[in-house]
Chain A
């Protein structure tokens, strides 16, 4: 197997672990952790594709840097939303947050 395939397999493994977790988890914080797993798999895959093929290596690394910046922004907003949901419902379990309007 070529090195590129190995790196892509690791990225695919991270994607599948994140998908499995995001469906299985029952709290919003757990789902946030799984989203970070998936984003990391995507970043690893992009960098491997940039570094090991003819494609521009600079573009690959910069794309992953942008993914990291967006992940930081996303985590900030998700944390704020989780805190708001916790204040309103008193819980962050997905089974408790089922009403749109009281």
Chain B
């Protein structure tokens, strides 16, 4: 069983890595979005490996189902060019800056992980969905209710922002 878990971890890590590279490097935004969805699926697999299947389902529902569709709408509404919005060659300076910006947290956090890493348990704790529900309605009821308020406000704000008054259309 332990070897199977390692193999599954390797497969999911590969899926995540490939998706992230596609999402960051591809010229076409639609392909970048496909890469993002691949990464999200890989992360859902990691949640399954961590013995939290509820989170894996939520990851599929919220991210793969809702957020990526919303980004597809963003691509559509902004008239993305077929050749790819990012097809023009990037300046080398910007590429170097981006590499430096990514390398600094990689070095700092990676070094911390390497030297001061916590050796956790070998097996993840198993928590049932009923425990999560009790937590949501018990100790963490205020953030749970606030999330609904935030979603409501975000929806109203989105509708208001893109509202077009009648007659003002160009």
Interface, chain A (partner B; CB < 8 A): 1-10, 12-21, 23-30, 32-34, 36-37, 40, 43-44, 47-53, 57-59, 61-62, 64-66, 68-84, 86, 92-93
Contacts and interface: CB of A to CB of B under 8 A. Distances in A.
Contact of A33 (B21, B23, B58, B98): B23
B150 A69 contact: yes
25 contacts: A2-B118, A3-B122, A12-B106, A16-B105, A18-B20, A18-B24, A20-B24, A24-B24, A26-B86, A30-B85, A36-B71, A37-B39, A40-B40, A44-B46, A47-B47, A51-B51, A52-B125, A57-B124, A62-B136, A65-B55, A68-B62, A73-B150, A74-B154, A79-B71, A86-B79
Interface string B143-170: 1000100110111011101100000000
Interface residues of B, number: 80
- In the complex, the 6 A-B pairs of residues with the closest C-beta atoms, listed nearest first: A4-B120, A52-B120, A20-B102, A23-B98, A21-B24, A80-B158
B85 A27 contact: yes
Interface string B97-121: 1110111011001100100011111
B127 interface: yes
Contacts of B23: 17, 21, 33-34, 37
Given A14-B20, A51-B124, A29 B71 contact: yes
Given A20-B24, A21-B23, A57 B125 contact: yes
